[in-house]
Amino acid sequence: MPRARSRTIDEFQTSAAPQEQGSGCLSGFLIPPLAVLLTSLLLAIFAFRQPTPTAVMAAPAESVTGGLAPFFRPEVLHWSDSILRWAAAAGVDPNLAAVVMQIESCGDPRARSRSGAMGLFQVMPFHFTLTDNPYDPDTNALRGLGYLARSLQAAGGNARLALAGYNGGIGVIARAEWSWPAETQRYVRYGAPIYEDALRGETQSAALDEWYTKYGVSLCQQASQNQ
């Protein structure tokens, strides 16, 4: 939104992505032609072997006939009926909306991050109007999922990029992934595979379990107390 900031992700922010550095080299006429050929071949092999992130396309909201994936934390499943309603209104897949709520607040309607993001979807203050109550679940979902829908549109339906846009601002979608803030890279590292598990109809998600163990225990305990 810039995005709805996660209090969980905020707690383990690290330094920004490294800046590009220039490199010095000798003039081309000093390098034997064979060396040039070998160097080019090695670079081509290296580039070919670099992994490319899988493009996870979000399921259209109208194609989702069931409920939420059962592996979401109980604090998020508490909002199942509301998530289905909010997602339908925003035109997004409810499981993608649930992924955002899971990482952002674990279903805590009173959550507030150090950066000032508020509520279930950790929406930044400048996305609300003067008459909005940021902690009202319906209002928070309206603003948060509205931004998620915009992020999805900018990403051409790519859920992985949409998650990056939700966390780091829509502007990051057009940038190379290595240049994303460390927080955004972590957000996508967990969010994208959780959503993939939901699309496959899995009953468990190793990615969600890892996120919960590393970053979600206290967040979800607080959510349970505030529901």
Q: What is the pLDDT of residues 64-84, one digit of tens each?
A: 556 999 999 999 999 999 999
Interatomic CA distance for residues 76 and 15, integer angstroms: 30
Supply the pLDDT for residue 1.
55
Of 103, 138, 96, residue with least CA distance to 122:
103
Domain 7-12+52-226 in this protein, CATH class: mainly alpha
C-alpha to C-alpha distances, 74 to 56, 68, 112, 190, nearest whole angstrom:
25, 11, 20, 18
Confidence at 25, pLDDT banded by 50, 70, 90: very low
Choose between 38 and 148: higher pLDDT.
Answer: 148
Full-model pTM: 0.78
Taking the CA atoms of residue 105, residue 112, residue 161 and residue 180 in that order, the dihedral angle to the nearest 10 degrees is -130
Question: Which amino acid type is present at position 196?
Answer: E
Does residue 19 carry a pLDDT above 60? no
Q: Where are the domains of the chain?
A: 7-12+52-226
**165-206 pLDDT, tens per residue?**
999 999 999 999 999 999 999 999 999 999 999 999 999 999
